[in-house]
Amino acid sequence: MKLSNNQLFWMIFCFQVHYALNPAFQYGHQDAWIISLVMGIAVMLLTFIIVKASLLSRDESLPALCRRLFGKWLGSGAAFFYIASWFLLTAVTLREWADYVFLKLLPNTPVFMVLIPFLLLVVYVNVKGGIMAIGYCSQVIGPLYFLISFVPFFLMFGVMEWSNLLPIYTDTGGENVLRGAIPALADVMGGSMVPFIIMGKHTDSKKTMKSALWAMGLSALWVILSTIGSVLVVGPHQASELIIPWVDSIRTISILDFIQNVDAFAICIYAFAHFISVSASMFGTSYGLAEWVGAKNWKRIVWYVAISVFLCVILTSNLGHITNDYRQSILVPWILPLNMLMIPILLLLMDRVKRWHA
């Protein structure tokens, strides 16, 4: 069985992009929406390139595709670079979720006690159902995540201070827009790299490109609306100091004393969305590693990956540090230019060259 385009769409949309708001506020303040808009345009272009490259592997795994087009050793190195980046993505996403639960819901509970049941559930869905089970879960959780992402923006109209958007562009300038858009782009695209291995062998339709573009377009639109909403509600300077300013913004929602505490529902749905993103990242890492080493049973590798991720998470520092360190040291300087841009373009070029010589 293969994923439907609907399942792929919701799975991509569930990947977490909350932390893309932080570099936008850091460099743009009240102009964070301009940075998010530039980031959104770049997201669509990059998604088109990545999906075109991933669809080259309709009948073969990502390691096999890289080895066919780049040669044995260079292809193996390129494929391993993807697998390593997915492993890091799994660990960082899990650490972000665990720290957020620790800070907001269970402040006196050790982090490993938060991690173990969540990680066991992720292992279970991978081992028992694989990518199809994650796809079915996405069809249930994805629409809820969509509602809790977009509806609060319209419920906050009564508390929005529109003068917070002024002055426009004067305090920021083109250099800061670019400096903020690049890490925001890396944050939004980070999760979508996992479907790079999923699309080729596990989807079945010519509409895969359309589903991926719609999903990434909605994610980018959410980032744009969230930056605007956060600036209008909590102000640009306070928003730049918060871990997830959007959650603090929607706490202000109160309509006729009937609709309140929306943030409690949001955190619950965010936890489910984290389950989808961590599960899909775990699948990509385990399945990709099995293909890379030639293992017949990729499900056994899920356990090794889960134990390694658990050790990485409990040995790393707290939320702000791991997110910023990962973005500044690995995601922006290495994964964005190599995994998201250079290797997909080279795959497309090499495929054209080989077809031309065939």
CATH code of the domain containing 84: 1.20.1740.10
pLDDT at position 205 is 60
Amino acid at 358: A
Residue 317 region by backbone torsions, left for phi larger than 0, else alpha for psi between -120 and 50, else beta: beta
| DSSP class of 141 | H
Q: State the Cα–Cα distance between residues 29 and 288, nearest whole angstrom.
A: 40
Facing residues of 203 across strands?
A: 3
**What three-state secondary structure class fits 194?**
coil
Total number of domains in the chain: 1
**What three-state secondary structure class fits 2?**
coil
In-domain check, residue 356: no
In-domain check, residue 345: yes
In-domain check, residue 247: yes
Facing residues of 3 across strands?
A: 203
Residue 329 exposed, middle or buried by CB count within 10 Å (0-12, 13-18, 19+): exposed
- Secondary structure (H, E, C), 65-131: HHHHHHCHHHHHHHHHHHHHHHHHHHHHHHHHHHHHHHHHCCCCCCHHHHHHHHHHHHHHHHHHHHH
* Per-residue pLDDT tens over the stretch 113-165: 888 999 999 999 999 988 889 999 999 999 999 998 898 888 888 888 888 88
In-domain check, residue 240: yes
In-domain check, residue 78: yes
In-domain check, residue 286: yes
Domain containing 44 equals 5-350
* Per-residue pLDDT tens over the stretch 5-46: 888 899 999 987 888 888 899 899 899 999 999 999 999 999
* Per-residue pLDDT tens over the stretch 316-328: 766 556 777 888 8
**Phi, psi dihedrals of residue 251, rounded to the nearest 5°:** -65, -20
In-domain check, residue 66: yes
In-domain check, residue 355: no
